[in-house]
Chains A and B, each alone.
Chain A
Amino acid sequence: MTPSAGLLDRLHLLLARHEALRGYTLISPTLFVVLAAMAVPLMLMVAYSFWSQSYVTLDTTLTLKNYADVATRDIYHTLFLRSVMISGLVTLITVLLAYPMAYFVAFDVKKHKLLWLILLTLPFWTSYLLRVFSWKVILGYNGVINSGLMSLGVIAEPLQFLLYNPFSVIVTLAHAWAAFAILPIYVSLEKIDRTLLEAATDLGDGPVRRFFRVTLPLSMPGVIAASLLIFIPTVGDYVTPTLVGGTGGVMIANIIQAQFGKANNWPLGSALAISTMLAVTAIACLTIWLAKRGTGAIR
């Protein structure tokens, strides 16, 4: 037996004995990727946020100056609140629109469910950027809506309010993230035990009461998952506001991106990014807590 084979055998023995080690080995590729691509950059960003930038040099003496800037300057608060408002509206609109669709597929579609689900994810077959651009084409000055209305004689001048404002950002994001809302809601609706609905009907609940007392609370996990799945990434979206936001639709991520780009101030950008992350985490936790309490109250 060669020494390397002996080593391999011993390794096998070790793995056979320790279950935790087996688990870690199994997830090691993923763990490695997560560490290398998430944890390390994140720690680097934390470090950056305590440094400072002057002209072309990076000063690595620790300072809280960046966080003081973030805490005291109105612009960051305004932009953060605006981002939360835009994303909140996007989440609300998307979930409200997605729920009936998911409900329909879960309860009323009897045949070819898979086909329906594939059709619902159809917008995802084109790239995100292309979808944003197509909204630019639809809402634009010479866009589909404006030229359509003008040829019908409804308006004489193209409507300016369609593009380059928070409205266009909300429309674009709501469309782009629709499938993320439909799928989790669908899954939680699909899981509902149909006998519970029958029982509710037998006990005298009408369709509306039954929906609010049984279906909705039981599908709440899906709704919460969908809301977070949309809210968290859209708060930090910068491509959409860059392309369709104009000056009024600028969001917090745009100013963070500018710090890493044009403004050449990585430390401030890092402090802004970390503050935003913490704030978004707080909002997400609060949402989950509120939703749990709310669902409890309905029951």
Chain B
Amino acid sequence: MSKITSDHPARTGLLSATMIAAAAGAFLTLAGPRPAAAAEATLFTWENLAEPAFFEEYEKKYKATPDSALFADEDEAFAKMMGGFKPDVMAPCTYEVPRWRDAGLLQPIDPSKLSHWNALPESLRNIKGMAAEGGKVWFVPQYWGNTSVTVRTDLAPEYAGKESWDILWDPKYKGRVAALEGVDDTFAISALHIGIDPYEPLSAENEKKVREHMTALAQNLRMVTSDSTTLVQAVASGEVVAAITWNDHYTEMKAEELPVKFMRPKGIITFVCGFVMHKESKNVAKAHTLIDSNINDSASHFLVTEMGYGPANTKALKSMDAALVQKAELPTDADAFLAAGIFQRTLPNKDALVQMWQEIRAMSGQ
């Protein structure tokens, strides 16, 4: 091997090359490639809500499929956007909208640009707190549904005839029940179960009560998840006898012909979910089309038959075969049901509740 000395041409050449490479690397890293304006609108939505059925109108108009990004729950979505992710349209539920708006993530939507806006009932066009200046809105509803408990009636037959959430706290099923990760669901159910209003600020005494009740729940839990597939599989295999779920989980289990029942006790939580637009959306026109496409008739029918959700477009719901609506276990008079409006609201001091739920879960293990 020949010895390379400091004045050897190969050595100095190598050094200059290294320096140039380092400088080029620094330049590239600092300058970074500028992203070109996105050609299609990006939808940031729940992991099971990016179905082709929702994009038909958009595809017809632009001859292209919108981009989609998925989240498992809104807390995760919020964190991702605070970290710099900028989609065009996002799909939270009403209770989450104020936080996103306060964080400066949203711009108002112009309903006059939505051809299906007037197919929505009065109650959903005027949800409290969703109006913005100039007749615009912060939020366009897409569907409504429930958070409740789904029970395997073959494994827990004593609950087959009941409408209650007691099974989550039943010591007989210790280690056989599951809860959702989000506090909007699990905290609300725990508080409502002991008669405490989750949407009012908690007194110290009530906080203690809910904390104890959630601790008891955590000690009974087999798993806490936001992942639909994990949840549905756990119920399907019998690993879990009862779980906090949404309509779509329940509809999926029913489609697999599992003996399941969706509890509908008095005061069941109803949520309304839909669309908001990102403040920095560069595709405002396409974003409006994307929202419009999601609330048209065929998208609404898909929501009912495949997911068991009530569509915000109740006009489309009325045009459906009554048997299909009944199969989805939706109320016969949706407009009246929605006008009565007991909707899931924003939890006061939610960050503290997230913290509390994290702590309870971490501490209740072995």
Contact = CB atoms under 8 A, between A and B. Distances in A.
Contact of B354 (A25, A250, A263): A263
Interface stretch (A108-116, A207-215, A231-239, A254-262): A254-262
B7 interface: yes
Nearest to A9: B12
Question: How large, as a class, is the contact surface on chain A?
Answer: 35 or more
B97 to A, nearest CB: 13
A264 B237 contact: no
B16 interface: yes
B25 A165 contact: no
B361 A250 contact: yes
Given A75-B362, A78-B362, A142-B237, A55 B16 contact: no
Contacts of B325: none
Interface stretch (A11-19, A93-101, A184-192): A11-19
A56 B364 CA distance: 29
Given A78-B362, A160-B175, A246-B365, A56 B102 contact: yes
A248 interface: yes
A26 interface: yes
Interface stretch (A28-36, A41-49, A222-230, A283-291): A28-36
A248 B12 CA distance: 59
Contact of B12 (A16, A74, A262): A16
A141 interface: yes
Interface in A239-285: 246-250, 254-255, 258, 260-265
Contacts of A15: 6, 12, 15
Contacts of B181: 262
B237 A141 contact: yes
A237 B302 CA distance: 41
Nearest to A265: B351
B223 A164 contact: yes
A26 B79 contact: no
Given A32-B25, A55-B102, A258 B358 contact: yes
Nearest to B220: A247
Interface string A74-96: 11001100000000000000000
Contacts of A26: 15, 18
A188 B239 CA distance: 47
B3 to A, nearest CB: 15
B26 A16 contact: no
Interface in B317-366: 351, 354-355, 358-359, 361-366
Nearest to A249: B365
A245 B292 CA distance: 42
Contacts of B359: 75
A262 B79 contact: yes
Contacts of A264: 75, 78-79, 82, 351, 354
A8 interface: yes
Contacts of B365: 165-166, 246-250
B221 interface: yes
A194 interface: no
Contact of A75 (B15, B25, B239, B363): B363
Interface in B4-38: 6-7, 12, 15-16, 18-19, 21-22, 25-26, 29
Interface string B214-244: 0000100111100000000010011100000
A233 B145 CA distance: 43
B103 interface: yes
B19 A25 contact: yes
B162 interface: no
27 contacts: A12-B15, A12-B16, A15-B12, A16-B12, A25-B19, A32-B22, A32-B26, A33-B25, A56-B104, A74-B363, A140-B239, A141-B234, A142-B239, A158-B239, A166-B366, A246-B222, A247-B218, A247-B221, A247-B361, A248-B364, A250-B365, A261-B75, A261-B76, A261-B79, A262-B358, A264-B354, A265-B351
Question: 8 nearest interchain CB pairs?
Answer: A248-B365, A141-B239, A56-B103, A262-B75, A248-B366, A28-B22, A261-B79, A250-B362
